[in-house]
Amino acid sequence: SAVISQKPSRDICQRGTSLTIQCQVDSQVTMMFWYRQQPGQSLTLIATANQGSEATYESGFVIDKFPISRPNLTFSTLTVSNLSPEDSSIYLCSVVFGQARSEQYFGPGTRLTVT
Amino acid sequence: QKEVEQDPGPLSVPEGAIVSLNCTYSNSAFQYFMWYRQYSRKGPELLMYTYSSGNKEDGRFTAQVDKSSKYISLFIRDSQPSDSATYLCAMKAAGGTSYGKLTFGQGTILTVHP
């Protein structure tokens, strides 16, 4: 089975700074997504990372705060900008290998703490 | 009202018990249904994936979907302490603007004690 990795696995950042999270898959995927899991909560979709074009953001999430890149079929980055304590969450990338209706798999997550 | 409702528990059962986890949903466009298991400080692991109504069995796990009632279930037979985790139901539509997007339940915390 394919391996989905995320870097960093965790970080502690100061208020006002930014953190860029990388997601790497060892085989080509058709779709990549970024989710947020706030403490004690379930997962919420931030955006769909589109290869070679701007990401598609869900309601409540904007590009200035969560810029996303996806330069190829196996790699994507999520930046969380101008950090505040409310951004302390787990950020997870998720991928689909076939058609959009296919199974969806998650990376191990990046645990962000903002002080 | 949330699109997907899941009893957060916590649920505590003795080893060997049959566990029943459930979700209800309101969006009739949902066609694909998944159950994930999430251990503490780990990413969600896909357990079961089903399409439309019916049952699917995989080892000790059985997933049921009843689209007429908008109700899905996951049964765990002969539960083990290693099954202790948070179980998340998730679902997605077949197309439209939500293509590929998963909507999750709140997750049920399960503890299986020896």
The beta-carbon neighbor of A108 closest among B42, B46, B99 is: B42
**Confidence (pLDDT) at B98:** 60
Say whether B102 and A48 touch across the interface (CB within 8 A).
no
With a cut of 90, say whether residue A103 has pLDDT above it.
no
* Angle of CA points A18, A50, A67, to nearest 5°: 15
Query: What is the distance between the alpha carbons of residues B75 and B52, in angstroms, rounded to a whole number?
Result: 17
Q: Please report residues of B whose CB lies closer than 8 A to that of A104.
A: 34, 46, 90, 92, 100, 102
CA distance A82 to chain B (A): 25
Q: With bands split at pLDDT 50, 70 and 90, how would you rate the model's confidence at B97? A: low
- Token pair of B79, please? 């539960």
Q: Please report residues of B whose CB lies closer than 8 A to that of A105.
A: 46
The mean-pLDDT minimum among A12-16, A102-106, B89-93, B97-101 falls in B97-101
Query: Torsion over CA of B28, B23, A102 and B51, rounded to 10 degrees?
Result: -60
Half-sphere exposure for A115 (CA within 13 Å, toward CB): 4
Q: How far is CA B2 from the centre of its chain?
A: 16
| Surface-to-core class of residue A70, CB atoms within 10 Å of its CB (0-12 exposed, 13-18 middle, 19+ buried) | buried
pLDDT in tens, B14-69: 999 999 999 999 999 898 999 999 999 899 999 999 987 889 999 999 999 999 99
Please give the order of strands across the beta sheet that includes B54-58. Answer: B4-6, B19-25, B71-76, B61-66, B54-58
With a cut of 90, say whether residue A71 has pLDDT above it.
yes
